[in-house]
Amino acid sequence: MVNNRNVKSEFELYAPMCLWLSTYLRDNYKGFEIITVDSHDERLDSVLSKYGIANDLATGIGIKIDVLGIVKKANVVKLFFVEAKKTSLNLHDLGQLLIYCRLIDPEEAFLMSSSDLGSLDKLLNTFKRDDLLNFGNGKKMKKMKVAIWNISAGTPEFSTMIPKM
């Protein structure tokens, strides 16, 4: 058990996840402008337009990402999605983020729960079906990352992360 106590509401996860994502992007995308935002109550197209980013695929289809990361340098823009859950993960959670990933093709995407991996544990750890995490255009290997969120540390619990980073 990673967390001895869960959060009362999923909303409590957004700010610490935003903070972690910001650190993660700062460490891995040096020289880029970095933006992280709690975007759970706003449509993706609207958030992106605030930062001068147009994404036709995101327009008018009502995608909402809990925590969004953007890194920018000159004409290069990369997106990062974090989907937060306070309950055990299930296929529905996986499917939701996977569809967003296949549509928008972010650079990386994280599905994290402060509870446990739920039914995805068996699927990913026992049956080793990490092929279900694939997205992208095939030129670069991209996999969604699934993990338990460590509340007290304010980071993903890396020992639970699938696939390993």
Query: In the complex, which residues of this chain contact other proteins (CB under 8 A)?
Result: 4-5, 23-24, 27-28, 150, 152-155, 158-159, 161, 164-165
Nearer to other proteins, 104 or 162 (CB): 162
Q: Are 93 and 85 in contact (CB under 8 A)?
A: yes
Give the whole-angstrom CA distance, residue 158 versus residue 135.
21
- Minimum distance of other proteins from residue 152's CB (angstroms): 4
SS3 call for 109: strand
- The 3-state DSSP class for residue 144 equals coil
Q: Which is nearer to other proteins, 128 or 140 (CB)?
A: 128
Cβ 117 to other proteins shortest distance, Å: 14
Report cis status (omega within 30 of 0) of the bond before 163. yes
Residue nearer to other proteins on the CB measure, 2 or 63: 2
For the CB of residue 62, give the shortest distance to other proteins in the complex, in Å: 32
Cα 70 → chain centroid: 12
**What's the min distance (Å) between Cβ of 157 and other proteins?**
9
Nearer to other proteins, 36 or 150 (CB): 150
Beta bridge partners of 149: 156
Which single residue is written with the structure tokens 């279900």? 132
